[in-house]
A and B are shown apart, each in its own frame.
Chain A
Amino acid sequence: MKVSTLILYGCIFFTTFLPAEAIYKFDNSVEEKRFYSLISEIRCPKCTSGSIASSDVPVSRDLKQKVYELILTGSTDKEIKAYVTDRFGASSDYRPAFEGANYLLWFGPFIFLGILMLIFLSNRRL
């Protein structure tokens, strides 16, 4: 089968709206690692669960593309996360913010551990 026919089949086969680039080319390996790390921490806004790294729905693609562009233009990880949560809500970050009620979340396990250790050390009949 001719290569051109194959390509034609391919185009008809997958008639989804594609962004111009789904390539994410980096010259810098540090930036590349940052990219893959960030997209695994940003939640897909449309899916029931999962990061944008694991999702191919349109809004995930748009987000990945945006993260890519922001890295290239020099934004920090924090700035990129803020950019995303400003638009899609705080729930888009799989790392809960370290503030307010979330202190209970981050310190909770260690407080629990501390309490159990205290009980154990003071009452070693268990």
Chain B
Amino acid sequence: MSAIYRSLIILLPLIVLITYGTILIADKDDAFTYFESKELPQFDLQDLEDRKIDLAAFNGISLLNVWASWCITCLVEHPFLTQLSKNEITLIGLNYKDSQVKAKQWLGKRGDPYIFSIYDPRGDLAFDLGVTGAPETFLIFNQQIIGHIQGELNQEKWQSTFVPLINAVTQANQ
């Protein structure tokens, strides 16, 4: 009987040690993704040019990118987004808590990689999406959200997080 207790006294701390060691070594990512898809929330907003938004834009694969003229990291992210748009990825902007004038100026100065940008000055759609700041990017397939990255979207995160999801979903639909 006491042999069991004695070995437990050694074993339990050892288990704690190994558990924490493993967790520590494991790679922690800024990005997180949904493992189940979510419906794109309904919204009653227009784009930066005051046009109505056609939800058909969200069919197929698209990226919904949360940005604002006051957001510094969005500047850093911008070249990569431009590159993606040139590679025929559909980019849709979500202009978050911004002034319409300043947003349009920002795009004018730096180039507009988006087919259009939703104008969300109060952050209503962003709130329903669970956005906590800019930049954030959602991967959308047929109006379903299948991926979400918080922070800057770059080559590395694109490759490791979004590309596998895109491949999985295109394969499943062939």
Question: How far is A82 from B151 in the complex, measured between Cα atoms in Å?
Answer: 25
* Contact of A45 with B132 in the complex, beta carbons under 8 Å: yes
B123 near A87 (CB under 8 angstroms)? Answer: no
Contact A89 B130 (CB under 8 A): yes
Give the distance in Å from the alpha carbon of A45 to the alpha carbon of B133 in the complex: 10
Nearest CB in chain A to that of B148: its residue: A89
Main secondary structure of the interface of A (DSSP, over half): helix
| B129: nearest chain-A partner, CB-CB | A87
Ordered nearest first, which 5 A-B pairs have the shortest CB separation? A46-B132, A87-B130, A88-B130, A45-B132, A59-B132
Which A residue sits closest to B123, measured CB to CB?
A: A62
Interface residues on A, range: 10 to 19
Is there contact, CB below 8 Å, between B129 and A59? no
- Chain B residue total in the interface (Cβ 8 A): 10
A9 lies within 8 A of chain B by Cβ: no
Query: Considering the complex, which residues of chain A in the window 72-122 have a beta carbon less than 8 Å from any beta carbon of chain B?
Result: 87-89
List of B residues within 8 angstroms of A59 by Cβ: 127, 131-133
Over the window 30-71 of chain A, the binary record of Cβ atoms lying under 8 Å from chain B Cβ atoms (1 yes, 0 no) is: 000000000000000110000000000011001000100000
Min CB distance A58 to B, Å, is 7
Contact of B1 among A87, A89, A123 (CB under 8 A): A123
A46-B133, A58-B123, A62-B127 known; 17 other A-B pairs, CB under 8 Å?
A17-B97, A45-B130, A45-B132, A58-B97, A58-B133, A59-B127, A59-B131, A59-B132, A59-B133, A62-B123, A87-B127, A87-B128, A87-B129, A88-B130, A88-B132, A89-B130, A123-B1
Report chain A residues within 8 Å CB of B129: 87
- By a beta-carbon cutoff of 8 Å, the part of chain B in contact with chain A is 1, 97, 123, 127-133
CA distance A87 to B130 in the complex (A): 4
B77 to chain A minimum Cβ distance, whole angstroms, is 18
* Interface contact A66-B127, CB-CB below 8 Å: yes
Residues of chain A lying within 8 A (CB to CB) of residue B123: 58, 62
Q: Determine the distance from Cα of A45 to Cα of B129 in the docked complex, in whole angstroms.
A: 12
Q: Once bound together, how far apart are the Cα atoms of A89 and B148, in whole Å? A: 12
Q: Complex formed: what's the CA distance from A32 to B133 in Å?
A: 28
- B130 proximity list for chain A (CB < 8 A): 45, 87-89
Min CB–CB distance A122 → chain B (angstroms): 10
The residue on B at minimum CB distance from A83 is B128
